[in-house]
Amino acid sequence: MKLFNREKEINEILHIIEREPDDIYFIFGPINSGKTVLINEIINNRLDRNKYVVFYINLRGIFISNYEDFIEVLFEEYSEDKKPLEVIKSIIKDIPVVSGIPIPKNTLNELLDKKTPKNVFKYITNILLELKNQGKQPILIIDELQKIGDMKINGFLIYELFNYFINLTKELHLCHVLCISSDSLFIEKVYNEAMLDGRAKYILVDDFDKETALRFMDFLAKEILNKYLSDEEKELIYSYVGGKAKDIKYVVEESKFKDLNDVLEYMLKEEMSKLDMFLDMLDYSKPKVEIGDETIEIKKEDIVNALKLFKENYVISKKEISPPVYIYLIKKNILFLNPIEGTLKPQSYLIWNAIKRVLS
């Protein structure tokens, strides 16, 4: 999908990158709000290749069950008789980003055998220092970092990683660190983590507001349909899918050969069917969430009552729903939490509309 009207977020991230590294930045937002598209735009089109070297580690779609899996994703091994810096230089001649830290095969095997994060981090730091000494500013981006949130190796690996990121940014001022996540529970955990207090900042990449969503519809209609939508059509689309860019794009594409009302009703009915099934299954299962060392069972009526709060409001305070209930609904991708604002909302307008119809 083409990037549309994210100049505010782009300028904020570019401003961060142009400064000396000093904080870890967490980029978060609802599912399909455009976080990865935004980062790819910055990497591919907005950075000076002569000045920056970007390491982009994408954990999306990768099965990570143990420490070895994570290390293999973190590194890109090679067997050639070259130094890591030479490998990096050869890569960035053609593309602006390195997908893993280059490492000789023998060295990688040694790190895997020792299973010590400190040795791994020491190797990475040496590579980053070499780049810095050659006048390059390293940037480390990890997409979907929450995938290693529960992984243990001499304690939780995520805490080892956070300590390392603090060392890279706050202490050494060596490398910019950007972490991307659509898991709002992970971001809430990070936001409340004492070790990151004063060492981390947060950038929300949200769905479009109404004005931007309507302009996005005009942009897509001209590009895909070769015509403009009427104000009534745009208002109708927004009333169903709101500012979710992916949903807007799907509606415009489908309306090229289908009736607009049929497209929108089909999307809503599909979402209603999912919500109906979710609620029906609560009669046969005993939903539970783990909070700390406790496993808490949740009643169906508490879940239904929580969802009813959204019949009149798109956004509510998280204090209006008990933590076990909103945690469960977030895990089921029904709600999204903004821990900085302390608010909850449906993951999309479609889900919001489904809630209003199913529970009416």
Digit-coded pLDDT (tens) for 187-205: 999 999 889 999 999 999 9
Digit-coded pLDDT (tens) for 89-115: 888 888 889 999 999 988 888 888 877
Q: Which CATH class is domain 7-204?
A: alpha beta
**What is the pTM (predicted TM-score) of this model?**
0.92
pLDDT at 157: 78
Q: What pLDDT band is residue 180 in, cutting at 50, 70 and 90?
A: very high
Digit-coded pLDDT (tens) for 290-340: 887 889 999 999 999 999 999 999 999 999 999 999 999 999 999 999 999
pLDDT at 91: 87
pLDDT at 62: 80
**CA–CA distance, 217 with 239 (Å, rounded to integer):** 13
DSSP string, 157-223: HHHHHHHHHHIIIIIT---EEEEEES-HHHHHHHHT-GGGTTTEEEEE-PPPPHHHHHHHHHHHIII
What is the Cα gyration radius of the chain? 23
Helix axes 245-254, 210-220, angle to 10 degrees: 40
Query: Which amino acid, residue 131?
Result: L
On the question of pLDDT at 150 being above 70, the answer is no
- At residue 11's C-alpha, the angle toward residues 8 and 14, to 5°, is 150
**CA–CA distance, 156 with 150 (Å, rounded to integer):** 7
Pairing status of strand 316-317 against strand 335-338: unpaired
Query: Which amino acid, residue 359?
Result: L
Dihedral of CA atoms 69, 71, 73, 79 in degrees, nearest 10, equals -110
Q: Which helix (H) or strand (E) holds 10?
A: helix 7-18
- Mean pLDDT, rounded, of the chain: 92
Architecture of domain 276-358 in this structure: Orthogonal Bundle (1.10)
